[in-house]
Amino acid sequence: MNHSVNRKLLSDNKLEPTFAERLKTFREDHAPRKKVLFVTPEYTGLIKAGGLGDVSAALPRALLHQHDVRILIPGYRSILQKNFPMKIVARLEGLAKIPACKIGQIQLENGPIIYLLLCPELYDRTGSPYASPEGNEWDDNHIRFARLGLAAADLALGKGHLSWRPDIVHSNDWPSALAPAYMALRHQSTPTVFTIHNLAFQGLFNPETGNDIGLPAQVFNTEEMEFFGKLSFLKAGLVYSNSITTVSENYAREITRPEFGCGLHGLLQKKSAQGQLQGITNGIDDSWEPSTDPYLVESFSPRQWEAKRANTRYVENRFNLAANDGPMFAVVSRLAPQKGVDLTLGIADSLVRAGGRLAVMGTGDSSLENALVKLAKRYPKQVGVHIGFNENESRRFFAGSDFLLMPSRFEPCGLSQMYAQRFGSLPIATCTGGLADTIEDGLNGFLFKEATLSSYNEAIQRALNVYEYPELLNAMRCHAMNSPQYWRESVRPYHQLYQQVINKRPYPHTGTTHLISGGLRQCR
Ligand code: ADP
Ligand code: GLC
């Protein structure tokens, strides 16, 4: 059993910053406000498929104190149906098979200005940002997301008569990765930042699709957009942007190795050696506050464990589970191979035998969904499964559980473990990616070495042991609740990065081709 909790907590006193450090901080804090166009396919509050939506909503809001950040996102049907007051602020031309579009401006309460990319033939559809309601990816995704990248590049160039022109274009994951590509090919001077939220999603298309989106055939080479015979949007983001970030320090190291690099580790090693790849660990937004959360059955602070327990009762009633004093385990997750849900299915019997209950909320692979539903039928009093996702209810799962299961095979950062920690639920997670950066084993959660049943089982056993010692359990809960960083406390590295990419200009031309006034020409 790990008894180092209190010793570690007491030894956490920080050293005073030196004069030089304070001066640097002062200079950074008083640097001129920059105009940042944050380009993303998801934004929590409008549309989301996972953590990218959460970061896209929370990070820009935290940056607003120092910068004029505005969002560019496709105007999907589900967003337009919310009927926000909107004004049309720009019109942009098409390119090849990319249709022309309009830009509509909306603003949510306490949030940045949002530019909606209005192009009904591409976005006025039901389903997720990427796929039909049946889960089939749209055939024209290359055009849908080239439209997004091209619009960002056009706005940076001042096209469309929008009076606001960004100083920096910050794009996120493959759906917005063509922004730096179009910008580099047209020799635009606005600096670009590209953030990798998940290297496993690459936006790979047949090479012929390059014609449809106005790319010159010459970009189809291994130094630019070719990836094993496919046209890779993600690779374009890596090749053409001036600076790359990813969402935790550990993942930034991992992706330079073959095991995690998804075939791009060589390029990422090069970028890292050139100082162009940096890990900045995600934070969480201010709404993850258990003492004020309106969606909890009862709100609570550290040590108000009876109030936390009321949320456990909610989860029990929700699934008609046995109301006893055994530990409550939760899974709140996309149901995908990445998340190791199959491993949780593998340990479920032993968890139930040990007196635990399991509550699951998630959607994803139908085979995993079916297996979970079957498990709940086998153990109706111990296992409850909700196939679906509801943000507000997910908060009761975090608050109502003692432990959150996250046996991910890889995890760029992970937000769910931090949400759980804030709500006093201890994550049990693989020691990978951002999980390793945000969980301290035996202090605010449990880490296990590799995503295997034996390694996972060993961590579950340690968690069950701690559950037997309420004093230790509660000390860990208190530490966990104070562990995750809010974006407002952790946004500084992005602020510094924005200063750096602006100061470093001009950038040498990347790649071998460039685009002139709508057409493309090869450079010498
Ligand atoms: P990822 O982005 O890989 O799914 P994170 O832990 O970073 O993992 O973020 C998960 C976010 O997505 C959390 O806000 C979580 O509540 C939410 N979420 C979990 N499952 C689903 C789902 N099936 N659909 C949509 N959002 C989900
Ligand atoms: C991705 C990753 C996840 C990360 C999230 C937000 O979806 O899978 O680990 O937390 O993006 O950056």
Could you tell me if residue 457 is inside a domain? Answer: yes
Q: 321 and 274 share a domain?
A: no
Task: Determine which residue's CA is closest to atom 11 belonging to ligand 2.
Answer: 197
Nearest by Cα to 433 from 415, 452, 454, 419: 415
Binding site membership of 281 for ligand 1 (Cβ less than 6 Å) = no
Q: 220 and 352 share a domain?
A: no
Q: 136 and 270 share a domain?
A: yes
CATH of the domain at 405: 3.40.50.2000
For the segment 296-320, the average pLDDT, to the nearest whole number, is 97
pLDDT at 312 over 50: yes
Q: 66 and 207 share a domain?
A: yes
Residue 146 is encoded by which pair of tokens? 């080239």
The number of C-alpha atoms within 13 Å of 489 and in the hemisphere containing its C-beta is 9
3-state SS record for 201-217: CCCEECCCHHHHCCCCH
Could you tell me if residue 151 is inside a domain? Answer: yes
Residue 183 is encoded by which pair of tokens? 């910008």
Q: 442 and 498 share a domain?
A: no
Binding site membership of 54 for ligand 1 (Cβ less than 6 Å) = yes
Nearest by Cα to 417 from 435, 431, 402: 435
Using the mean position of ligand 2's atoms as its centre, give its distance from the Cα of residue 248 in Å.
10
Q: 332 and 468 share a domain?
A: yes
Residues 5-25: tens digit of each pLDDT: 444 443 444 567 788 777 777
Question: In this predicted model, which residue has the larger pLDDT, 325 or 22?
Answer: 325
Return d(Cα 285, Cα 407) in angstroms, integer.
Answer: 24
Return d(Cα 416, Cα 17) in angstroms, integer.
Answer: 32
Binding site membership of 155 for ligand 1 (Cβ less than 6 Å) = no
For the segment 257-264, the average pLDDT, to the nearest whole number, is 98
Residues 211-225: tens digit of each pLDDT: 999 999 999 999 999
Could you tell me if residue 29 is inside a domain? Answer: no
Nearest by Cα to 297 from 424, 161, 399: 399
**pTM of the model as a whole:** 0.93
Q: 385 and 453 share a domain?
A: yes
pLDDT of residue 371: 98
Looking at the CA of 198, which ligand is closest? Answer: 2
Looking at the CA of 360, which ligand is closest? Answer: 1
For the segment 272-288, the average pLDDT, to the nearest whole number, is 97
Q: 144 and 236 share a domain?
A: yes
Could you tell me if residue 19 is inside a domain? Answer: no
pLDDT of residue 22: 79
pLDDT of residue 23: 79
Nearest by Cα to 384 from 329, 336, 321: 321
pLDDT at 512 over 80: no
Could you tell me if residue 21 is inside a domain? Answer: no
Q: Which residues line ligand 2 (CB under 6 A)?
A: 50-52, 55, 197-198, 247, 282, 411-415
Residues 151-206: tens digit of each pLDDT: 999 999 999 999 999 999 999 999 999 999 999 999 999 999 999 999 999 999 99
pLDDT at 3 over 60: no
* Confidence grade of residue 381 (pLDDT, cut at 50, 70, 90): very high
Could you tell me if residue 23 is inside a domain? Answer: no
Question: Residue 68, exposed/middle/buried by CB under 10 A (0-12, 13-18, 19+)?
Answer: middle
pLDDT at 485 over 60: yes
For the segment 314-318, the average pLDDT, to the nearest whole number, is 98
Q: Position 202: which residue type?
A: Q
Using the mean position of ligand 1's atoms as its centre, give its distance from the Cα of residue 236 in Å.
26
The number of C-alpha atoms within 13 Å of 31 and in the hemisphere containing its C-beta is 20
pLDDT at 29 over 80: no
Task: Determine which residue's CA is closest to atom 20 belonging to ligand 1.
Answer: 333
Binding site membership of 49 for ligand 1 (Cβ less than 6 Å) = yes
Share of the chain above pLDDT 90, in %: 88
Return d(Cα 433, Cα 429) in angstroms, integer.
Answer: 11
The number of C-alpha atoms within 13 Å of 370 and in the hemisphere containing its C-beta is 3
Residues 32-62: tens digit of each pLDDT: 889 999 999 999 999 999 999 999 999 999 9
Strands 243-246 and 226-227, bridge-based pairing: unpaired
Using the mean position of ligand 1's atoms as its centre, give its distance from the Cα of residue 391 in Å.
9
Q: Among all chains, which residue has been given the structure tokens 């006025």? A: 124
Return d(Cα 246, Cα 280) in angstroms, integer.
Answer: 6
Could you tell me if residue 357 is inside a domain? Answer: yes
Q: 76 and 188 share a domain?
A: yes
pLDDT at 517 over 80: no
Q: Collapsing DSSP states into helix, strand and coil, what is residue 501? A: helix
Residues 390-431: tens digit of each pLDDT: 999 999 999 999 999 999 999 999 999 999 999 999 999 999
pLDDT of residue 386: 98
User: Which domain, by its residues, includes 379?
Assistant: 305-481
Q: Which of 198, 246, 262, 332 has most ligand 2 atoms within 8 Å of CB, for mutation?
A: 198
* Mean model confidence pLDDT for the chain: 93
* Confidence grade of residue 511 (pLDDT, cut at 50, 70, 90): low
Q: 311 and 165 share a domain?
A: no
Based on C-alpha coordinates, what's the Rg of the chain? 24
Number of the ligand 1 atom closest to the C-alpha atom of 413:
7
Using the mean position of ligand 2's atoms as its centre, give its distance from the Cα of residue 332 in Å.
14
Using the mean position of ligand 1's atoms as its centre, give its distance from the Cα of residue 129 in Å.
14
Q: 473 and 500 share a domain?
A: no
pLDDT of residue 522: 35
Q: Among all chains, which residue has been given the structure tokens 């760029």? A: 412
Q: Among all chains, which residue has been given the structure tokens 């004004």? A: 87
Residues 63-118: tens digit of each pLDDT: 999 999 999 999 999 999 999 999 999 999 999 999 999 999 999 988 999 999 99
* Confidence grade of residue 519 (pLDDT, cut at 50, 70, 90): very low
> For the chain, what is the domain count?
2
Return d(Cα 409, Cα 430) in angstroms, integer.
Answer: 7
Using the mean position of ligand 2's atoms as its centre, give its distance from the Cα of residue 414 in Å.
5
Q: 240 and 367 share a domain?
A: no
| Burial 308-347, CB ≥16 within 10 A → b, else e | bbbbbebbbebbebeeeebbbbbbbbbbbebbbbbbbeeb
pLDDT at 322 over 70: yes
